[in-house]
Structure 1
């Protein structure tokens, strides 16, 4: 048991049985550390092997650098513990803890706070129904809910730990992080305030809003660096972007193995990796990777697809080594293929595949039905002829330096220029399979909106904020 080496009492003591009462006193206990106890009414008494102080009214207890004020206090001098009730305020090294009640252990310097708990270090405010404050470690544990707020964001969770010195928050259970024009939810989250880095884990949903437009991102893990405006999303993420105007909503959906997202004043860039699937109101695509750019305050967007890309514009399938797509106000504007360009379209009547191929391709789109593809050099084409009732009338197979394939509605026109060579296949001699080298006709791989939206996290999305 620790020995009490000095008691100093100010004001005349009034004996009452086995204890003393005194009013408006300063009560000093000196041992290896000094404790100053002040209050309107103080009473000290021996209770078995322990000496206990009862303080009532304007309580103030000072323990080295720690000062606690309250309406009432009971201090066990022998055990070196104190229980404070009523408007409790603990101040230590710039940290301020407020609560309805506080049990404080002097030796390990731990405070157990209950009721309207509020902890602040001057930059961050933590609010909770209860919490444990490790004063010397500058660490706070909140087991029954937490709200953490600074000048940039607000975090809430079912439980959490805040490292005050390191400025690190570890939160678990229905975590939500809100900031201007952004919201993130997850199962757990670690936030490094000094570095503005957030690691969110488990069923992560991330929403950003810009004017009338909004972007939802779902994944199993998000690593976000707010200073660099950079996010890495893992765990088969899904992006859903809504672009609104007065008359319509243009939707973009991207699924992949991982995302790298860079935001800046210039705009938004998404790099998607591994089994990329894209569905947009005006086209669909599939590739190993894509780089998607949306400039700020611009009406056009662009995407470059790599790794055996397939693009679908209506029922037309395009492929090549690298494919670039440009949209204007949500509609397809132009398309570029570098290396092994291929165009394929199934004739709706004969079910045969019209084809065109060449070294490269430039495509333009006008309105909802006119598509023009300029293919070359080393261009080749196959076109199946049919009557209006769907009867097959043979096919043309030709090559040239350049060809133009023009689609409008269900009609197709092919024009050749320079060094044209070709032949006609009569319907009676038409082979069962007539295809150019490199044909990949895979309509079953075309991404479908409903399939992409079958992502397990989509059911939890709120489409408006």
Structure 2
């Protein structure tokens, strides 16, 4: 029995001796840093692992040096690197070579170098920094990242890639909690449809909304459409809807300005609110108003609310106001002539220095440079009043060329004695020279009443004539001569034989009180309202 007990005690002593030898061997290997170890601090939870780990003192500060396959575990993330130094007192980590921070939420940051301050939970990453979170990847060379708030800052250029969107700028910040990025200085957003350039841009990777400030320019991929604004706006990259302040859209044919512009890229509909101005480049036409809309797919632009059209003519300007203007784009004619059509609806009024008019509806055809008027059209050319059921004016070299009056055409003018000279016929054509009426041709059932006045202004009598055709020649805005063709029939009445009933033709109606003034027409245009300052980008109107 005693012999058996002795053997057991000997075996236990041998086992304890072997354990002590193995423990000292492990400690020796640890000090030599041959394989992975674990180290714990009392005041912070941190684990250090590396192929080689040793204690050292740098600048009188104790530290741990880690070399090869470094893994530093902290509470919410892990740091990997080729080499690292951990400063015990300052709780500071310096890491170099293939640095990687893996957060518990799955986000990953890689860099060439890292300086991590545990006290402020601030990671300073330098060199080839790549931040990966969900579907977002961010690139920079200088990135400071708050591990607690998940906010990052960069100052030496950065690039954010999210789906088809690529954002670059000189400086900015990224907040992973809000999934929002702010880019400053030389900001550029590029995707498959357009390129956006601005001073400042805020982009949320969850809502897909980009908000930008300062000078902003958006250019379509084909370069045919651009938008510029000096006050910024916002753009939803998912719905492709956007809002801009004090901006303009430019195409090959048009430029659209407005206090507020709303764009629907999917439907290709652009809406403008406040001080709207639509410029047709080919026709030198500007249409302005309170509201506007451009439907790109249909090639239709609409402006309404205090609407005014301005057309530049040779040595003059034609102003035309209406309730609503609609411009329609069409393919150019075979010879390359612009084929735009502009329609004006209701309360149409026009003003030119020596020509004014009004009607219910106006149509301008760019293909033949013709303006058509419908709905009780009436015009005044210097002292003459012109009416007909329908009227169209031909332009040539940006000047009035011909004015065609169809059905119940009538011309009247007041002389120095207060009487009215009158001409009427089935149709008339007024010819212009240097934008002034030069002659009038009356065709079909022509009839005239003309009062003869001497040089002293005394009435000498009245001519009443009928014939098939009449020609009137004008000189210095006055009748210089009348030619009656094809068997004129008429009579001359001396002053004492003129009766009141004979002084007027059947369709005579003197409407001088309706003659539009420049102020009446031009002030009808945009600029009459002051409510647009209250508009906000996130409001719907």
TM-score bin, normalised by smaller chain: 0.7 to 0.9
The CA distance in 2 between the partners of 1:334 and 1:178, in whole Å, is 33
Deviations 1:156-191 (A, max 9, x none): 23020011223333101x313344465433211122
2:93 counterpart of 1:27: no
1:363 aligns with one of 411, 420, 429: 429
The separation in 2 between residues aligned to 1:361 and 1:51, in whole angstroms, is 90
* Match in the other structure for 2:80: 9
After TM superposition, the score normalised by the length of structure 1 is 0.82
Aligned partner of residue 496 in structure 2, secondary structure: helix
Give the aligned partner of residue 162 of structure 1.
Answer: 235
Relative distance call for 1:411 and 1:53 in structure 2 (3 A) is closer
| Corresponding residue number in structure 2 for 1:430 | 498
Mean CA deviation greater in 116-125 or 177-186: 177-186
Q: Distance in 2 between matches of 1:271 and 1:186?
A: 21
| Alignment match, 1:462 | none
Distance 1:330 1:346, change over 3 A: farther
Q: Does the aligned pair in 1 maintain the 2:306–2:524 contact within 8 Å?
A: no
1:324-339, aligned counterparts within 5 Å? 324-330=392-398, 332-339=400-407
More helix as a share of residues? 2
- CA 312–327 in structure 1, closer or farther in 2 if over 3 Å, else same: farther
Q: What SS does structure 2 have at the residue aligned with 1:428?
A: helix
CA distance in 1, matches of 2:463, 2:329: 50
Correspondence 1:36 to 2:103: no
The verdict on how the C-alpha distance between 1:102 and 1:408 changes in structure 2, with shifts beyond 3 A counting, is closer
Label 1:25 to 1:303 Cα distance change in 2 as closer, same or farther (>3 A). Answer: closer
Correspondence 1:272 to 2:344: yes
Q: Structure 1: state its 5+ residue gaps.
A: 460-465
Question: Which runs of no fewer than 5 residues in structure 2 stay unpaired?
Answer: 1-73, 334-338, 529-541
- Corresponding residue number in structure 2 for 1:385: 452
CA contact 1:282–1:331 (8 Å) conserved in 2: no
Aligned residue for 1:34, secondary structure, equals coil
Q: How does 1:447-458 map to 2 (within 5 A)?
A: 447-448=516-517, 452-454=521-523
RMSD: 3.2
Question: What is residue 470 of structure 2 aligned with on the other side?
Answer: 404
- Distance in 2, matches of 1:332 and 1:59, equals 68
Q: Distance in 1 between matches of 2:480 and 2:84?
A: 109
1:220 maps to which residue? Answer: 290
Residues 298-353 of structure 1 show CA distances to partners (whole Å, capped at 9, x for unaligned) of xx632221111112344322212222333444555544333333221223x43310
**Matches of 2:239 and 2:527, distance apart in 1:** 35
Q: Tell me the TM-score normalised to structure 2 length.
A: 0.72
More strand by share: 1
Distance 1:144 1:413 in 2: 65
Deviation at 1:34, TM superposition (A): 1.4
Asked whether the equivalents of residues 167 and 193 of structure 1 are also in contact (C-alpha less than 8 Å), the reply is yes
Partner of 1:256: 322
Is the CA contact 2:276–2:303 (under 8 Å) kept in the aligned structure 1?
no
Query: How far does residue 357 in structure 1 lie from its aligned partner after superposition?
Result: 3.1
Structure 1 distance, partners of 2:318, 2:527, is 14
Partner of 2:440: 372
Q: Which residue of the other structure, out of 48, 61, 77, is the alignment partner of 2:131?
A: 61
Instruction: Note the C-alpha offset of 1:30.
Output: 4.6
Partners of 2:275 and 2:132 lie apart in 1 by 46
